[in-house]
Chains A and B, each alone.
Chain A
Amino acid sequence: MAVKVRIPTVLRSATGGRATMDVTATTVGEVLAAISSEYPNVQEQLFNTDGSLHRFLNVYINDDDVRYLGGVTAAVADGDEVTLLPAVAGGATA
């Protein structure tokens, strides 16, 4: 499946400034593995040491958060757009 990936600015230092990638994959996990294999420095920003998705990373297939689609096992189809984004949050107290 040919999938377009949008890379957030925070990860572009690890992708040599690249903003989009076309990858071939059948699941979100394969999409992320394809990015990590081309840009190894991205890996630690995507995954925890146990291999789970980083808590502050949101991954979308088109408009849908993959957390509600099975996480890294979520299936991607030809023409899907996968977007990686950081969670944006904070607070007035520690």
Chain B
Amino acid sequence: MLTLRPEHYDAMVATAIRALPNEGCGLLVGDAEGKVSRIVPSHNVADSAKIYEIDPKVLLRTFREADDAGENVLGVFHSHTHSEAYPSPTDIAQAPDPEWHYVLVSLRDLPTVVRSFRIRTGEVTEEVVSVTV
């Protein structure tokens, strides 16, 4: 399960909208139980509507800060502008960490859809996203 506060949810959707027409992306930081403490938006350095890549400098800074604070980079979010909120074959093939949460924000339909997945050795499992104040 991924646990978010409403502002984290809003931050991911806002990042996705601001990145249009490209995919938007960013990192989730929090504790080992999947409780998010902050969202770190990243420029999509792929500058593309079809692919995303987290700015390596943002990842480096965020990883060090989280490590020093006893937190973890919990996962990554990115948007799909014209397809459903489900990991693409590329997302699955390139998923960097089996412990991560992979959040997809789809802007294809209204209202915006936010879903979260675990990706382990190519196997995708959806998890509950709990938004609590």
Interface-forming stretch among B2-10, B12-20, B78-86, B121-129? B78-86
Chain B neighbourhood of A19, CB < 8 A: 67
Option from B51, B63, B95 in Cβ contact (under 8 Å) with A8: B63
Interface centre among A8, A85, A92 (most CB of B within 10 A): A92
A-B contacts, 22 of them at CB < 8 A, read A6-B63, A6-B64, A9-B73, A9-B99, A10-B98, A56-B94, A58-B60, A65-B56, A83-B60, A87-B94, A87-B96, A88-B25, A88-B54, A89-B51, A89-B53, A91-B52, A91-B90, A91-B91, A93-B50, A93-B51, A94-B89, A94-B90
Task: State the B residues within 8 Å of A (CB).
Answer: 23, 25, 27, 46, 48-54, 56-57, 59-60, 63-64, 67, 72-73, 76, 78, 80-83, 87-91, 94-99
